[in-house]
Structure 1
């Protein structure tokens, strides 16, 4: 049996305790139990002392009673939008924008900003007042990209929409171009409103403002620097693109971490040290996804925290300030929830599932709780019990 002793925070990195392959498996368990099962199946001798059983330590020990209560409180957070689907859709959309490239800068970006401010927003405002299509309104891709970046500053977006249009413009009954099978209705309505400005434009470096239509729908627009917002969001896809291949399990756990993150913001008020909470990449992905639904984000955050939390992507804080904020967030997270902030994925979720049915079957292995050790993962000898989640 390979045993990682209690209290050794990073024992699974210690080559003296486990072999190199075993080290890899332990890390996989912490990241994704199903992946760990596949790793073990593919290795000849993954852990020299006992290839059939692993004792998991980091992020998987039974929590203190107070930490269990904090996790329970975090799980009570309710969202009015499916953030798993929202996150997957966001990644797909960002991949399309990234494949085009020209919407990051230059003439194509300038035209997209113009079309967004003077065409799309007035059309959206009309649609919000009274649906103008019998099916979801499909937003042109270039306008959707600018809209995407703008919504990631939720307070600014809300303030500008209310000032110009009298309401916060939501994306209810609006469909991404990347998900639409047909755009005929949206294109027809657009052409009626803007006969000199086409619904589709060439998204390439040669697109320019010289042939932009003059019959636009808005006389007023935001002064918010949308080009700068695009620049700030350009690098985000490169940080999170690795998550495109993940399954629902990853996104469900990321949503759970986001719930805990919001609960942490609530708890932060009790800390004598003032700092801003800095999310991990997976939390930030879900946070972005939530903000893309303006009314849901506004209503949900008011219900959870009593106020809207601004994402503040304009924060030009120094790297040192961000590092300090992340360090303080990490410290508060580990005090509040137990386990590592960076490696907080998976085990708290799976422990709950184990508690409900006694064990969890994952790719030919069984994960179960042990009062003596914490959590054990071993090769399954029998079929999964009723209620187990089969990976």
Structure 2
């Protein structure tokens, strides 16, 4: 559960999957490695802020999705890094106005934690990565202290 373990985390299989034009996202190797670095920062924020709702930017979230798809590896990596399974809760922000406000508040808090831990992001990172969560507004994580309610949205809730 240290930064050393995080640095040793083997994300190469996820990178290979993401750069694949048919099975993945078709990203360049250079861009994927850049996002991998930001994903590691996201995981570190999750390690260091266990009770916070850490919300990743869109492309970091996509990288996380691909990591989660390798369920066995993801479960083992979580156990090694956190001592528990780091859940992904894709409904955060979808369950009404208050939930949406909580998502935005969590996003703002994540940005503050990022800057506090890693320093002011470069202009590129600020403008292209940590600027907004607009492309994946509902992705968040559920902390072990159950920050999120497990209530899932229903079709009835969107037609109201």
Q: TM-score range by the shorter chain?
A: 0.5 to 0.7
1:1-391 aligned at under 5 Å gives the runs 73=4, 76-79=7-10, 82-89=13-20, 92-93=22-23, 244=26, 246-269=27-50, 274-315=51-92, 316-317=94-95, 318-340=99-121, 343-344=124-125
Specify which structure has the bigger relative contact order, considering alpha-carbon pairs within 8 angstroms and separated by 6 or more residues. 2
Q: Could you say what secondary structure the match of 1:311 adopts? A: strand
For residues 11-51 of structure 1, give each alpha carbon's deviation from its aligned partner in whole angstroms, at most 9, with x where no partner exists: xxxxxxxxxxxxxxxxxxxxxxxxxxxxxxxxxxxxxxxxx
Residues 18, 66 of structure 2: 8 Å contact kept: yes
Residues 298, 308 of structure 1: 8 Å contact kept: yes
Shift of 1:281: 1.2
Residues 75, 259 of structure 1: 8 Å contact kept: yes
Residues 74, 260 of structure 1: 8 Å contact kept: no
Change (3 A) 1:323 1:343: farther
Q: How many residues align?
A: 121
- Taking the aligned partners of 1:266 and 1:342, their CA distance within structure 2 comes to 26
Q: Please, what TM-score do these two structures have when normalized by structure 1? A: 0.28
- Taking the aligned partners of 1:280 and 1:307, their CA distance within structure 2 comes to 23
Residues 6, 44 of structure 2: 8 Å contact kept: no
Q: Is the radius of gyration larger for structure 1 or structure 2?
A: 1
Shift of 1:93: 4.0
**RMSD of aligned residue pairs (Cα, Å):** 2.8
Of 298-307 and 335-344, the range deviating more from structure 2: 335-344
What runs of 5+ residues in structure 2 fail to find an aligned partner? 127-160
Change (3 A) 1:314 1:264: same
Residues 5, 80 of structure 2: 8 Å contact kept: no
Q: Could you say what secondary structure the match of 1:327 adopts? A: helix
